[in-house]
Amino acid sequence: MSRSRLTIPILIFLILSACIEDFEFDGISAGEGIIVEGFISDQSYNDLLLLPLPARYFTLKLSNVGEVENVRNEPVLGAKIELHQDNNVVYDYAEIEGGEYGLFYEAFRAEPGSEYHLEITLADGRQIVSEIQTLEREMDMGSFSLEEGINVDYENIRGEVSITEQEGINFYVTTLVNETEEPIYYKWDLTITWIFNAQLAEDNSPIKYCWATSKNFYKEYQLLEDQNGGVQNELFFLKTKSSRLNHGYTVLVRQTVMNSGYYTFWNEVEKQLNQSELFAAPPYNIASNLTSDDIEVFGYFGVVNETFGRWYFDKDEVDNYGGWVNDQCIFGGPWAPWCFDCRAWAYDDRPVTPGMPEWWDTKYFRTKP
């Protein structure tokens, strides 16, 4: 039986960007073996451009993990990775760097009714295969809602409990009605973008305002097994006394609907992380759909329905917003570099870009708090 193979020249990968599922297995005790991280969805690179959202290709990450804790996982290089579809089409991943491999097809998306599985051949010939996966049902994003309130933080400082109350907004998503008899498995993660103002830069300077992005500001993800729908799920609490809100602030909500196996995987990862924070011995038996006759394999290859929703902070929607001045660039001196150049506000996990992104809604850009 014949099969089709889709390939593209490898040289162009040097100028292309990609992203993976935003989770690192460093810190997870998984035993000794290979970790596989990756997914595909029903939203292609081209689909995201039309939404409009920052586009991304599907990627897979391979890393070696040992039994020694607190040692960063080593990348797996030189692997050959194929994505097989049930109509005898094979898509080739291309190696990028650091154990990441990209599926660089701008129009590729997971299709309803199709079956997918991975075949991975390591540089030494050992093989890893995933179970067959199919796309879950399509489910639109539910409705967003806000509720003003007070968040209470408890902090133990040298045996004494410090209590801090902060005014802010509770942000919720309410799931749509589930008209089937089967549960729907949801996962939400968040990316925030806000406008940083270099307060001492000239008003017309191209480096006065930058758009800063972070995926680590809120909890990494939220999970929900929803039987009937109509569930109000809190995604985050936003302090309304924050300089981040002065000039513009948005949250991109990514919703994925997955099968029960992938949901179990993320649920067990979350439990293990929580146990690690409590100094408990984390379990080793996280669910996986990857197998090998040659080596222990951890991780999961998911096929998901993906939906996005964007929310912008509007100061007119809340009563307890009064603006918040960042006084680092006002009084005295010497001043930090970011007082004159917004690009200096960047960190490794917080890229900043001068100039308004194409997707930004201009009515949510304010020059004054």
Mean pLDDT in the chain?
84
Joined tokens for residue 84: 């097989």
Residue type, 243: S
pLDDT at 2 over 70: no
Q: Give the C-alpha separation, 314 to 326, whole Å.
A: 19
pLDDT of 281 reads 42
Q: Can you tell me the mean pLDDT for 47-56?
A: 88
Instruction: List pLDDT tens digits, range 251-264.
Output: 999 999 999 999 99
Share of the chain above pLDDT 90, in %: 58
Instruction: List pLDDT tens digits, range 149-171.
Output: 888 877 777 777 778 888 889 99
Residue 239, CB-side half-sphere exposure with 13 Å CA sphere = 13
Give backbone dihedrals phi and psi of 277, rounded to 5 degrees, phi first.
Answer: -65, -25
pLDDT of 369 reads 74
pLDDT of 15 reads 28
Q: Give the C-alpha separation, 35 to 33, whole Å.
A: 7
Which among 94-103, 151-160, 211-220 has the top mean pLDDT?
94-103
What is the pLDDT confidence band of residue 8, given thresholds at 50, 70 and 90? Answer: very low
242-267 residues labelled b (16+ CB within 10 A) or e (exposed): bbbbbbbbbbbbbbbbbbeebbbbbb
User: In the 8-state DSSP scheme, what is residue 323?
Assistant: -
pLDDT of 171 reads 94
158: left (phi over 0), alpha (psi -120 to 50) or beta: left
pLDDT of 24 reads 52
pLDDT of 165 reads 81
How far from each other are the two terminal CA atoms of the chain, in whole angstroms? 65
